[in-house]
Chain A
Amino acid sequence: MAETIQLEVTRYSPEHDAAPAFQRFEVPYRKDWVVLDALNYIKDKLDGSLSYRWSCRMGICGSCGMMVNGEPRLTCATFLSPYTPDAVRVEPLRYFPVVRDLVIEMTDFMVKLQRVKPWIIRKEEKSIADGEYLQTPQQLDVYKQFSMCINCMLCYAACPVYGLDPLFTGPAAIALAQRYNIDSRDQGAKERLDILSQHEGIWACTFVGECTEVCPKHVDPAGAIQQYKLTAAKEWFKSLLMPWGAK
């Protein structure tokens, strides 16, 4: 059993470097250590200047997404054991600008998330005194999967469309829009459709499907987008055939 394992980590400081480069570290190998534990060891004991994001260590906050051997992964949920004795290559999340070492710039996602109006839109709000909106477990089931998104952006790192065209709204943002569209309490589907049926919205997606493969929470954003396309197409036909029925 190996005592140590090598980690090859991207280093980049915009103040000193022109481009990112790799640095090798040797860390102890433990069977139940994940890549994040190895990074923490490096920061605590070997080189405190290694910068990366992490928080909950249990795959729910979405901070620690990085490329591990070329695949977008949550480093808190990626054991070292499958990689040993080879070195593990850790790079910042693909298709995002690199700020420093393993830290990427994610305001693009934050802007797009806000743009799709991810909140309940209603013509008339119910008052608190009238109690809850009734929603059966079946109605909850319809959108539940899409509500599990932890905003880790691994799907963006897996999406070649986003890589080639950074204006694309992207899997997570569209999946969250769809989550609200099909929530029985929401009445804002038309508003979101107007925003997302533009070229950089749902129609830029070519159903590569990698976003769903890498999603750690099984949200299936690809499915959400295709379903949204079907709905959008239906709405378009309806508006064509029944223009008087505009909502």
Chain B
Amino acid sequence: MESHEHDVLIVGGGGAGLRAAIAVCEANPKLSVAVISKVYPMRSHTVSAEGGAAGVINPGDSLDEHAYDTISGGDWLCDQDAVEAFVKEAPEELLRLEHWGCPWSREPDGHIAVRAFGGMKRMRTWFAADKTGFHMLHTLFQTSLKYETVIRYDEWFVTKLLVDDGCVQGAVAIELMSGKIQAITANAIILCTGGCGRVFPFTTNANIKNGDGMALAYRAGAPLKDMEFVQYHPTGLPFTGILITEAARAEGGYMLNKDGYRYLQDYNLGKPQPKPVLRSMELGPRDRLSQAFVMEMEKGRTIKGPYGDIVHLDLRHLGEKLISTKLPFVRELCLKYQNIDPIKELIPVRPVVHYMMGGVHTDINGATPLPGLYAAGEVACVSINGANRLGSNSLPELLVFGARVGRAAAEFASKHTAPSAAILAQAMDENRRLRKQLLEKTGGGERIATIRDEMQKAIENGAGIYRTGTSLLETVTKLRELQQRYTNTVLDDRGLTFNTELIAAMELGFMLDAAEAIVQCALHRTESRGAHQRTDFPKRNDEKFLAHSLVHRNADGSSRVEYLPVKITRWPPGERVYGEPSQTKDAQAGR
């Protein structure tokens, strides 16, 4: 078995991974950095982000306001010290990206332009037309090509983290091209593998978002945090799950039920105005909009489409010029994938899973409780997003925490020495396990797709937008059954060269672990907060649950959930209000 040695190993080549790689190089140019990605880095899911990245640059704006919007939007589950650091560093990071060539949209005088975004009280969302994530990722990737100490392992799939004596010292990976299973050792490992939206049936996430890093960390002994908080984006195309960006609502789109009525006014989100009002109606936070959809569906006021219930997004009144300049990608997506022209027709939309607020538990520098293991980006939970993420906060999160984790890992790696021999023995074991369990197995007979579909159905039913204790327990049972059936999967593909079925089988294993974590955390949190809504416990319970859920894996494979109090610095928990009352509330609070 071949092994490779590096100082820092980064698993995942998206926004966070590439930013971390650059940060390591700049912190210590002598370190050798490996970036492993199961796809070529420019295919990472960062590429599909559309709306924008928030950073305070307007003179009328302030870091405190960005922090407050983030914390209140997160229903006070955010660690406030992390949020304060985040809002301070976000504009610097976005500016650094501009220096690296990112084509941010501009004001006529040449300065960076910002726009409104849901949940943000002031305009502070930087954008690059409506392809912000695409431009950010390509800028980061192309800039990373400058650094000669970054060694990339493109299309290598990490199957296991190597842990010795409680320290993470490397990873085992399959090189897709040849099927060779190899070990890569490093002093510091950074997970930047993204979220796990593919656990759910309707999701904006790409095929590659399977919770790989979350499961790798979980199996290695690191806890996962706040997994029950799953963000639904209120406007996704029904069959494909393709996201219709929040920017369409920020520019003034309306959401209509089957009677052509702007139904959001019934759900405490303000009164309908002809022009968009920040933090009200269609620009309210995502979780409230998704919940409004479910309630409309229960009232029978949604439209029955060929793929399930939908509502309509109306952009017709915005006119052709505005749609072509500010929302060209939205128009392109609707035409190419659903054959609908937003200039003339209504767009069918429904809530789709979009983002995981939860993830691997890290501190403010991206370090997990396991020495040597770090995480940043969607895979991590710092937590700055709390119970609900505001739109345009996740792109700067990649940059801010990607940079922080890079620097922290560089410092750690500079001080520590070569990994132990026991590590390589573990890698050989993993090699044997993969061959025996997956490649050489005969008999049995479950197809991967069957188990995956059943998992997705079960989790949407039991742990979707609204959850109850009963539905969650049913899902727990179903997941246990699926875990058992998973050990009986048989592959059609026994080849070594580019065996994507083998990868799919491992991704399914990772997804089952992530699903288990989500459901267990949801079961134990008997309150409703942000994106986690329990119909049997509809109120927020700050006495018991102003804390993060931490789920650990026990030695026998079962899980245990503990709680870690949220760090409150300057903003005591208040009530999340949107629309008009929020102005009064702020006035009362003397802001």
22 A-B contacts, Cβ less than 8 Å apart?
A15-B496, A48-B449, A48-B492, A49-B499, A49-B501, A60-B47, A61-B43, A62-B42, A62-B43, A63-B40, A101-B498, A103-B498, A110-B40, A113-B145, A118-B142, A118-B145, A120-B100, A120-B143, A128-B92, A132-B95, A133-B98, A151-B40
Q: Given the interface contacts A32-B338, A100-B497, does A132 sit within 8 Å of B109 by beta carbon? A: no
Q: Given the interface contacts A60-B47, A61-B42, A103-B498, does A135 sit within 8 Å of B142 by beta carbon? A: no
CB within 8 Å of A: which of B99-116?
A: 99-101, 103-112
CB within 8 Å of A: which of B78-123?
A: 92, 95-96, 98-101, 103-112
Q: Name the distance in Å between A88's Cβ and chain B's nearest Cβ.
A: 18
Task: Assess whether A203 is interfacial by the CB under 8 Å rule.
Answer: no
A56 touching B48, Cβ below 8 Å: yes
A144 touching B48, Cβ below 8 Å: no
A49 touching B492, Cβ below 8 Å: yes
Q: Given the interface contacts A134-B111, A185-B101, does A61 sit within 8 Å of B47 by beta carbon? A: yes
Q: Kindly list 16 other residue pairs between chains A and B, CB separation below 8 angstroms, not including A49-B494, A49-B499, A57-B206.
A: A49-B492, A52-B500, A55-B45, A55-B206, A77-B337, A100-B495, A100-B498, A110-B154, A118-B142, A128-B95, A133-B99, A136-B109, A137-B106, A137-B108, A140-B103, A180-B101
Q: Name the distance in Å between B481's Cβ and chain A's nearest Cβ.
A: 20
CB-CB < 8 A to B138: which residues of A?
147, 149
B501 touching A43, Cβ below 8 Å: yes
B99 touching A140, Cβ below 8 Å: no
A136 touching B106, Cβ below 8 Å: yes
CB-CB < 8 A to A54: which residues of B?
207
How distant is the Cα of A226 from the Cα of B483 in the complex, in angstroms?
58
Q: Name the distance in Å between B44's Cβ and chain A's nearest Cβ.
A: 8
Q: Given the interface contacts A55-B207, A140-B105, does A32 sit within 8 Å of B497 by beta carbon? A: no
Q: Name the distance in Å between B95's Cβ and chain A's nearest Cβ.
A: 5
- Which residue of the partner chain, among B108, B146, B242, B493, contacts A51 with CB atoms under 8 Å? B493
Q: Give the top 3 A-B pairs by smallest Cβ distance, nearest first.
A: A134-B110, A44-B449, A49-B493
A63 touching B242, Cβ below 8 Å: no
Task: Assess whether B439 is interfacial by the CB under 8 Å rule.
Answer: no
CB-CB < 8 A to A60: which residues of B?
47-48, 131, 134
Q: Name the distance in Å between A109's Cβ and chain B's nearest Cβ.
A: 10
Residue of A nearest to B93 (CB): A128
B143 touching A15, Cβ below 8 Å: no
CB-CB < 8 A to B206: which residues of A?
55-57, 61
Q: Name the distance in Å between B287's Cβ and chain A's nearest Cβ.
A: 24
Task: Assess whether A99 is interfacial by the CB under 8 Å rule.
Answer: yes
B106 touching A57, Cβ below 8 Å: no
B208 touching A51, Cβ below 8 Å: no
CB-CB < 8 A to B500: which residues of A?
43, 51-52
Q: Which residues of B contact A (CB under 8 A)?
A: 39-40, 42-45, 47-48, 92, 95-96, 98-101, 103-112, 129, 131, 134-135, 138, 142-143, 145-146, 154, 177, 206-208, 239-242, 333, 336-339, 447-449, 491-501, 504
Residue of B nearest to A115 (CB): B145
Q: Name the distance in Å between A196's Cβ and chain B's nearest Cβ.
A: 16
Q: Given the interface contacts A48-B447, A180-B101, does A56 sit within 8 Å of B47 by beta carbon? A: yes
B106 touching A135, Cβ below 8 Å: yes
B495 touching A183, Cβ below 8 Å: no
B106 touching A140, Cβ below 8 Å: yes
Task: Assess whether A2 is interfacial by the CB under 8 Å rule.
Answer: no
- Which residue of the partner chain, among A13, A59, A126, A151, contacts B495 with CB atoms under 8 Å? A13
CB-CB < 8 A to B239: which residues of A?
32
CB within 8 Å of B: which of A136-187?
A: 136-137, 139-140, 143-144, 147-151, 176, 180, 183, 185-186
Q: Name the distance in Å between B224's Cβ and chain A's nearest Cβ.
A: 24
CB-CB < 8 A to A119: which residues of B?
100-101, 142-143, 145-146
Per DSSP, chain A at the interface is loop
Q: Given the interface contacts A48-B501, A136-B108, A137-B106, does A147 sit within 8 Å of B95 by beta carbon? A: no
CB-CB < 8 A to B336: which residues of A?
59, 77
Q: Name the distance in Å between A42's Cβ and chain B's nearest Cβ.
A: 11
CB-CB < 8 A to A45: which residues of B?
447, 449
Residue of A nearest to B494 (CB): A49
B99 touching A120, Cβ below 8 Å: yes
How distant is the Cα of A134 from the Cα of B109 in the complex, in angstroms?
8
CB-CB < 8 A to A105: which residues of B?
177
Q: Name the distance in Å between A191's Cβ and chain B's nearest Cβ.
A: 12
Q: Given the interface contacts A48-B491, A55-B208, A110-B154, does A63 sit within 8 Å of B43 by beta carbon? A: yes
A136 touching B110, Cβ below 8 Å: yes
CB-CB < 8 A to A86: which residues of B?
none
- Which residue of the partner chain, among B47, B142, B177, B449, contacts A99 with CB atoms under 8 Å? B177
Task: Assess whether A4 is interfacial by the CB under 8 Å rule.
Answer: no
CB-CB < 8 A to A150: which residues of B?
42, 47, 134
CB-CB < 8 A to A131: which residues of B?
95
Residue of A nearest to B307 (CB): A32
Task: Assess whether A47 is interfacial by the CB under 8 Å rule.
Answer: yes
Residue of B nearest to A45 (CB): B449
CB-CB < 8 A to B112: which residues of A?
132
Residue of B nearest to A113 (CB): B145
Residue of B nearest to A34 (CB): B337
CB-CB < 8 A to A143: which residues of B?
103
CB-CB < 8 A to B496: which residues of A?
15
B96 touching A128, Cβ below 8 Å: yes
B106 touching A15, Cβ below 8 Å: no
CB-CB < 8 A to B48: which residues of A?
56, 58, 60-61
A114 touching B493, Cβ below 8 Å: no
Contact with B along A16-52 (1 / 0, CB 8 A): 1000000000000000100000000001110111011
Task: Assess whether A125 is interfacial by the CB under 8 Å rule.
Answer: yes
CB-CB < 8 A to B240: which residues of A?
57-58
Residue of B nearest to A59 (CB): B336
Most buried by B among A43, A143, A176: A43
How distant is the Cα of A120 from the Cα of B338 in the complex, in angstroms?
38
- Which residue of the partner chain, among B40, B104, B109, B339, contacts A32 with CB atoms under 8 Å? B339
Task: Assess whether A85 is interfacial by the CB under 8 Å rule.
Answer: no
Q: Name the distance in Å between B388's Cβ and chain A's nearest Cβ.
A: 24
Task: Assess whether A230 is interfacial by the CB under 8 Å rule.
Answer: no
Residue of A nearest to B450 (CB): A44
Residue of A nearest to B241 (CB): A57
B111 touching A57, Cβ below 8 Å: no
CB-CB < 8 A to B241: which residues of A?
57
Task: Assess whether A106 is interfacial by the CB under 8 Å rule.
Answer: yes
Residue of A nearest to B133 (CB): A60
How distant is the Cα of A107 from the Cα of B175 in the complex, in angstroms?
14
Residue of A nearest to B242 (CB): A58
Q: Given the interface contacts A136-B106, A186-B101, does A56 sit within 8 Å of B45 by beta carbon? A: yes
CB-CB < 8 A to B39: which residues of A?
53, 55, 61, 63
CB-CB < 8 A to B110: which residues of A?
134-136, 139
How distant is the Cα of A137 from the Cα of B177 in the complex, in angstroms?
43
Task: Assess whether A70 is interfacial by the CB under 8 Å rule.
Answer: no
How distant is the Cα of A41 from the Cα of B492 in the complex, in angstroms?
14
Residue of B nearest to A122 (CB): B99
- Which residue of the partner chain, among B96, B208, B497, contacts A13 with CB atoms under 8 Å? B497
A120 touching B101, Cβ below 8 Å: yes
How distant is the Cα of A52 from the Cα of B207 in the complex, in angstroms?
12
How distant is the Cα of A136 from the Cα of B107 in the complex, in angstroms?
7
Residue of B nearest to A57 (CB): B240
CB-CB < 8 A to A133: which residues of B?
98-99
How distant is the Cα of A45 from the Cα of B45 in the complex, in angstroms?
26
